Chains A and B, each alone.
Chain A
Amino acid sequence: MNPIMETQAITMRFGGLVAVNEFSMKIGANDLIGLIGPNGAGKTTIFNMITGHYLPSEGKILFNGESISGKEPAVITQGGIARTFQNIRLFKDLSVLDNIRIAGHSRLSYGLASSIFRTKAFHEEENKLRAEAFELLKIMKLEHRVDSLAKNLPYGEQRRLEIARALATHPKLLLLDEPAAGMNPNETKELTGLIRWVRDHFKIAVLLIEHDMKLVMEVCESIYVVDHGELIAHGGPKDIQNNPKVIEAYLGTTEV
């Protein structure tokens, strides 16, 4: 099986600090993979390299067999990698519908002149986009919020909207950065189901950063563990749970 995304020994240095060191991973087209590690281990930095926000100091990132390092974040998203953010970055002052429609922007083809003169192409494409957005909001259980401003949504719905917005770019790989952060146990439980359902329904790969171990162990088929920028373990949930290196990373060294 060919992986949809592969990082080949990517390294990220900030000045003298090595945030991520020779990190390699492979994700298959329909995988649900977890990326865990203590705070400051370099997980979000890995995300930022994959999405093009950071240019890796060394190493290569392949998506569909093609190198994407050095490409603009927008181009990478258009190519099929979408993400959410650790600290929710919705378009706060815009409606839920607009948040979704913006994500569909690169799929529209009408030009500026069409927009100014309100041509037939404009109305056709806008109506289609609108219908798609409504459909997506429906399956994400946000249709009752269509006209609300994103900032007025309760926290759990904001997280869901961010996932919906990422899905609206029609990704093949979805990166979720701590989607359960700040959620109560009920919301987390719901989210667990949602993540799996999204993967199955849209037939995409999901890479997940999460601190909630219960969620990770329950939903991920394979887990990568990083600490101090290094990959320290990789395997199924059971292997990871019993891996002494992982336990050490989380609980600290037990040297005498």
Chain B
Amino acid sequence: MDSHVSYFFWDLLNYLINGLTQGSIYALVALGYTMVFGIIKLINFAHGEFFMIGAFIGYYCILSGMPFALAMPVAMIGSGIVAVIIERIVYRPIRHAGRIPALITALGISLFFQYAGQMIIGADPKAFPSSIENKTYQLGEVYFSTSQILIVTSSLILMLFLYWLVNFTKMGKAMRATSYNMKAAELMGIDTNKIISFTFFVGAAFAGAAGVLVGLHYGTVDPMMGMIPGLKAFVAAVLGGIGIIPGAVLGGLVLGVAENLVVGFWMATYRDAIAFTILIIILLFKPSGLLGVNRREKV
């Protein structure tokens, strides 16, 4: 009986650690979702693809002999640039067409990258080169790996960086102003187009970082890898309250932990259904998210 309890306890700790690792990834991707939504009210469906693009840039960088510490920033900048280009040539022209056309366009971009990726790179998963020594550590019956430590610490660093960026820099102030009221920000002399581009850049860079970390942790990358994490990160963003930056982090962590607990203790084959179930529950009972304030439509 006693051993049952301790097994349960160790299992729980392991699931929590895995949950936090996965949650950090969701949070990193969700941050981009939430920032873009906060600023132009667009559900950027293609956001998961920046995660995939980042992973592939990291993959090719490391293959060409680059050290991991350099490959990750390169991947971040790379996916950031792709996002800025997409924003410039596709999202900007349709920004005023309404939310549904924008959503459909984002859907199109997402499919474009997934399938163009399959055609150019090939649909089969590629083994991510192990550029760092991935050791497994043991504490009692708790196991964790170097890559997990790396994921959690780099997520933490990036989030702190974002916190600083948004709250203590001029750029951050302009971002907040644009998100609060774009017209007023424009009248105050803020170049909102520049701010939007910058927001896309930062969001996609974070997703790109998450992509590289996931490639490292799971050891494979493929062109469709952005779809499910992208959707789940969206769920995380909605869960925390879309448009609210701390909400994305909270949502990501909650989702990661919830997924691992349910999979570990209960129904392993329903892993991908958990996020959607959470999404529907939150949309129905508190659509503004855990940290959000309910608003009503003006008649």
Contacts and interface: CB of A to CB of B under 8 A. Distances in A.
Interface of A: 44, 48, 53-54, 85
B97 interface: no
Nearest to A54: B299
A44 B299 CA distance: 9
The secondary-structure label for the interface of chain A is loop
5 contacts: A44-B299, A48-B299, A53-B299, A54-B299, A85-B299
Contacts of A53: 299
Closest 3 CB pairs of A and B: A53-B299, A48-B299, A54-B299
Contacts of B299: 44, 48, 53-54, 85
Interface of B is mostly: loop
Contacts of A85: 299
Nearest to B297: A53
Contacts of A44: 299
Interface in B248-299: 299
A85 B299 CA distance: 9
Nearest to A89: B299
Contacts of A54: 299
Nearest to B293: A15
A48 B298 CA distance: 10
Nearest to A53: B299
B295 to A, nearest CB: 10
A154 to B, nearest CB: 25
A113 B150 CA distance: 63
A222 B299 CA distance: 26
B297 to A, nearest CB: 9
A54 B299 CA distance: 9
Contacts of A48: 299
B267 to A, nearest CB: 39
